[in-house]
């Protein structure tokens, strides 16, 4: 079965340098400030009346004038604090949250207080000494409310991030369980056919039968011992494919033709996920060679493209509709391979498969060359 896997996104272009602000962000800033003010409407509705009751009730001041002063101060101070919070978040200022909010709230109270004096001084003359204490009382109330919102928002965001990480971990564990299941057994059809081939060779060519059993043993050992979450040398994966093709060659004879197109030095320092190339080859053999009465060529290519390793398996077998409808076995392996690449490399990896125009099928993947030293398990017989 072959899988029409959607191509993984190509690596994204370099992000703008730190401190640079895109036109989109600049254009959205006023909208974000308006949204922030709308979400904090309750501050501007509740704070002025409460302060008016407290102030006018204790000092005997005129209720109407006191309310206007409190409303103006709340709007100026609260708006200043929220605007500073939005601007700082968009600018990416990195400070501990307590220091971040503390400085911005203090600055917002200072700016808002002076703005209140400016607005009120345009219409009337007030006792600035008495008003200043009122402004700080209003500022403290608004600051406490805004700071509470900010702290709550940070906690909610941290909680959401924790939930997201747990879900990602659960998906990884589910994928690992699926990989373990795949690694604990080879394709049963492949094993059945291989054993039948060995049984037929025992009477005709005992030496070839022994060679086939040894190759099958090496292939099974490689499959079982490799850690699915790690990477292995590309040379080991290619040797695994050679063992697999040698066994299938005993079964199909001249119907299976293999071409290798390996760039010089491509194996040096290259690491790939284990069993990343073998499922592509098995897919070509199962759906290309086995369904054809005429010889089919399976072409394997490995090359370097910058810091990426590009692997491709192409065959000129039947590229008909049944091949693209899907079945169990290799289809599950291909879907799992696509997910493994995404989890290991993110957007830096790419996987695609599909029918080739004019006949045949092509499956290709690319990923960063893993240059770090990774532990290897048993050696595969050359």
Ordered domains of the chain (ranges, CATH): 23-174 (no CATH), 185-368 (3.30.565.10)
Q: Residue 131 has what pLDDT?
A: 54
Q: Residue 298 has what pLDDT?
A: 95
Q: What is the pTM of this model?
A: 0.53
**Per-residue tens of pLDDT for the chain, all 382 residues:** 334 343 443 433 333 444 444 444 444 555 655 565 566 666 667 777 776 776 666 666 667 777 777 777 777 877 777 777 777 766 666 666 566 667 777 777 778 777 777 777 655 555 555 555 555 555 555 555 555 556 556 655 676 788 888 888 888 787 777 656 655 555 666 777 778 888 888 888 888 888 889 988 888 888 777 655 478 899 999 999 999 999 888 888 899 999 999 999 898 888 998 888 988 998 899 888 988 889 999 999 999 998 899 999 999 988 644 444 344 455 677 787 888 788 778 888 999 988 888 788 999 999 998 644 333 433 333 3
Q: Residue 263 has what pLDDT?
A: 92
Q: Residue 38 has what pLDDT?
A: 60
Q: Residue 380 has what pLDDT?
A: 37
Give the pairing of strands 256-262 and 296-305: parallel
> Which residue reads 């509709």 in tokens?
321
Side-chain half-sphere CA neighbours of 70 within 13 A: 26
Please name every residue paired with 367 in a beta bridge, in sequence order, or none if there are none: 309
Report how far residue 127's alpha carbon sits from residue 192's, in angstroms, rounded to the nearest whole number.
Answer: 97
- Alpha-helical segments (H) within the chain: 23-39, 41-59, 63-91, 97-123, 128-183, 188-204, 206-225, 234-252, 278-284, 321-325, 330-345
* Dihedral pair phi/psi, residue 354, rounded to 5°: 175, 165
């Amino acid at each position: 079965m072959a899988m029409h896997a959607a191509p993984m996104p190509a690596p994204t272009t370099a992000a703008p340098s730190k401190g640079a602000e895109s036109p989109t962000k600049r254009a959205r800033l006023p909208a974000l400030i308006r949204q922030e003010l709308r979400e904090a409407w309750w501050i501007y509705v509740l704070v002025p009346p409460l302060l008016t009751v407290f102030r006018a009730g204790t000092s005997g001041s005129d209720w109407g004038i006191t309310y206007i002063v409190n409303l103006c101060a709340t709007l100026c101070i609260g708006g200043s604090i929220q605007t500073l919070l939005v601007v700082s978040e968009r600018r990416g200022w990195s400070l501990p949250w307590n220091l971040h909010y503390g400085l911005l709230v203090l600055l917002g109270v200072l700016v808002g207080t002076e703005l209140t004096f400016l607005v009120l001084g345009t219409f009337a003359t007030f006792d600035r000494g008495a008003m200043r204490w009122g402004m700080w009382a209003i500022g403290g109330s608004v600051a406490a409310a805004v700071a509470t919102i900010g702290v709550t928002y940070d906690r909610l965001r941290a909680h959401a991030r924790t939930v997201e990480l747990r879900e990602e971990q659960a998906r990884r564990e589910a994928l690992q369980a699926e990989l373990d299941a795949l690694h604990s057994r080879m394709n049963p059809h492949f094993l059945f056919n291989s054993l039948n081939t060995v049984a037929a060779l025992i009477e005709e060519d005992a030496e070839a039968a022994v060679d086939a059993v040894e190759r099958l043993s090496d292939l099974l050992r490689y499959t079982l011992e490799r850690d699915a979450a790690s990477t292995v040398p590309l040379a080991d994966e290619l040797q695994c494919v050679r063992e697999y093709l040698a066994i299938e060659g005993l079964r199909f004879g001249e119907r299976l033709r293999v071409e290798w197109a390996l760039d010089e030095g491509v194996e040096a320092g290259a690491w790939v996920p284990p069993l990343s190339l073998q499922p592509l080859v098995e897919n070509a053999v199962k759906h290309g060679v086995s369904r054809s009465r005429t010889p089919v060529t399976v072409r394997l290519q490995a090359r370097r493209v910058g810091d990426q390793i590009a692997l491709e398996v192409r065959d000129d077998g039947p590229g008909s509709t049944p091949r693209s409808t899907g079945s169990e076995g290799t289809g599950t392996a291909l879907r799992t391979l696509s997910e493994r690449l995404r989890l290991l490399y993110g957007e830096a990896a790419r996987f695609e498969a599909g029918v080739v125009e004019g006949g045949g099928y092509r499956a290709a993947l690319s990923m960063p060359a893993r240059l770090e030293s990774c532990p290897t398990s048993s050696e595969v017989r050359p």
